[in-house]
Amino acid sequence: MSYVTKQGRLRLLAPVVLLASLAACSGPDETAPAAANTAAAPAAAAQAAAADKAASEKVQGMDTGTLRDAASAALRENRMYAPAGDNAMEYYLALRDKLPDDASIKSALTDLQPYTLIAAEQALAREDFTEAQRLIALVEKVDPSAPALPRLKQGVTSGIQVAERRTTDEADKAKRDAENRAKQQVEQQRLAQQQAAEASAAQQLAARQEAARKESERLEAERQAAARREAEQRSAAQAAAAAAAAPKPAAAPAAPTLRAVSTPAPRYPADALRSGTSGEVLVELTIGTDGSVTDARILRATPARVFDREALAAVRRWKFEPMGSPVTTRRTLAFAPNK
């Protein structure tokens, strides 16, 4: 009497037919290159060794009664081929080793084999090669001549090779990506250094141009000041010549003696002080009888319009001792930044 019920046998018919068709259509690939067969040899040897130990040592150490009970419980709980060490396939294989002539055990293994083949195919599809090899070992232990075995074994070997190639390709790609990132970083650093050098050179050029502009302005100011001085000297020489040529008037009565009471110094213009500009202003002023300055005007200023305002403001505050009549005189106010 089989340990799989009649109703269970009916449920197993469909996968048996399916696996038989798959096995008939997909025998071993006789056209595979010799290199692939050579590479498959180690995997095949490993699979053969696994087939010899399809049932775990723990399962093989059970007695027949315990194995029967464990196999029945595994079937009831749908543990037909997994988990490893606790499934119906391993229990029945161990029973067959102990009772090789028991037809019910052989029948149960025959019924379980299609499910194990399907599970092996699924394990291959998800690239779980360890599980696939375990399930293939169970199938091979049941029937070493099962038509699907060569294809499944070749699938494991090819799958492992493909996975290894993919891992190698991914590692190579990761290495190339890392090298490319390193090159990009080096290039970015080079560009950053180049931009920094160009910015520094631009700043230095701008500084030189600004210094040249200021020097040009300074030289132009000095040239203009020298031209003004020459013009003033020519005017003074012409005036002196004209005065010498003119008839001398009768001697005028002696002018009253001026005695200054207060002559505050002019304020130094802030702009001229910052730029270190110096100069002088010739002022003509008229002093009234009470000693105050009643009128003042600029006769000459060097440089022009720099110290004029402060010079006039200063002399208008001057005080002299009272006199009998107004007096007109000239004074030169010097401006020097170190005074």
- At the second CATH level, the architecture of 260-335 is 2-Layer Sandwich (3.30)
pTM higher than the cut 0.95: no
Report the first-to-last Cα separation within the chain, whole angstroms. Answer: 134
Query: With bands split at pLDDT 50, 70 and 90, how would you rate the model's confidence at 231?
Result: confident
Give the integer Cα–Cα distance in Å for 111 and 93: 13
C-alpha distance from residue 308 to each of 252, 284, 334 (Å): 31, 12, 11
Give the integer Cα–Cα distance in Å for 215 and 263: 38
- Please check whether residue 318 is in contact with residue 260, taking contact to mean a CB–CB distance below 8 angstroms: yes
Residue among 231, 240, 225, 227 at smallest CA distance from 302: 225
Please give the pLDDT value at position 258: 87
Give the integer Cα–Cα distance in Å for 117 and 16: 10
User: pLDDT (tens digit, 9 = 90+) per residue, 51-82?
Assistant: 555 778 899 999 999 999 999 999 999 999 99
Please give the pLDDT value at position 247: 59
Please give the pLDDT value at position 241: 77
Question: What residue spans in the chain does CATH classification 3.30.2420.10 cover?
Answer: 260-335
Other CB atoms within 10 Å distance of the CB of residue 142:
21
User: pLDDT (tens digit, 9 = 90+) per residue, 182-223?
Assistant: 999 999 999 889 998 888 887 998 889 998 799 989 989 898
- Please check whether residue 93 is in contact with residue 54, taking contact to mean a CB–CB distance below 8 angstroms: yes
Please give the pLDDT value at position 255: 60
